Amino acid sequence: MDRRREDRQGGGCEPKRSDAPALCFEQVTFGYTRVPVLREVSLQVRGGEFVALVGPNGAGKTTMMRLGLGLLHASHGTVRLFGERVEDFEDWWRVGYVPQRAGSGAVLPVSVEEVVRTGLTGHLGLFRRPRPHHRERMEHVLDLMGVAGLRRQPINELSGGQQQRALIARALVTDPSLLVLDEPTTGVDADARHVLREALEHLVDVERVSVIYISHDPEGFEGLADRVLEVRAGHVTDLTRPQREETSEERLWRR
């Protein structure tokens, strides 16, 4: 008996609903070649939900999120952000994204505060100065991620964990409704892990941010995740659902 079950929450993703999921995949198929990486994937991430995405290397976890962020385009099916087709989505301030290993190789001698401020560029443009509410938000995320005391430090002089916290603060400065973190604890120290965990608890419980957390490290999301989804062999299964026995057709499809 297999305790995993394919995620079937693709229903209820109708466009422009007031309670539309933060992210929705409807029968999405994608491949870099003729061989699909993802096959007819349907899922949704609701408002204020913490979803952990796990699976072996090369299974398609990062590919899924790149599809969700409009960086790749599905061969078949539909991807929606807050009820809008991702191709038509314009409110990108509502989405915060920290790519895998984003903190590595930071060489520019810019301060932590300047890095965080760049997260507002899409809101403000290149030449407008932040307004008081933008500055208040900057103070909040600098404090939330434990880097307020490092605001004037050049980011290239910080540890990997400190850099990662500054980059997560940048992703949060627009007050997003959805935060996507790709392997956020890779190569960071215990202090950074602790700060990140406390920040995620606050974001989900208080600010009601939806979080997608891609990781090989279950300690990073243990006790935080509402659901754990596994990407394997082109399919997504929900590891948190009750057991049920697979049909013979499902077993054949997984081979």
pLDDT for position 247: 57
pLDDT for position 218: 85
DSSP 8: B
Beta carbons of 217 and 185 less than 8 angstroms apart: yes
- From residue 229, alpha-carbon distances to 5, 7, 50, 144 in Å are 9, 8, 11, 27
Q: What is the pTM of this model?
A: 0.85
Can you name the residues that pair with 96 across neighbouring β-strands? 179
- Which residues in the chain show pLDDT less than 70? 1-18, 101-108, 122-128, 241-255
Q: What digits encode the pLDDT tens for the residues 25-79?
A: 999 999 999 899 999 999 999 999 999 999 998 899 999 999 999 999 999 999 9
Residue 217 burial class via C-beta count within 10 angstroms: exposed 0-12, middle 13-18, buried 19 and up = middle
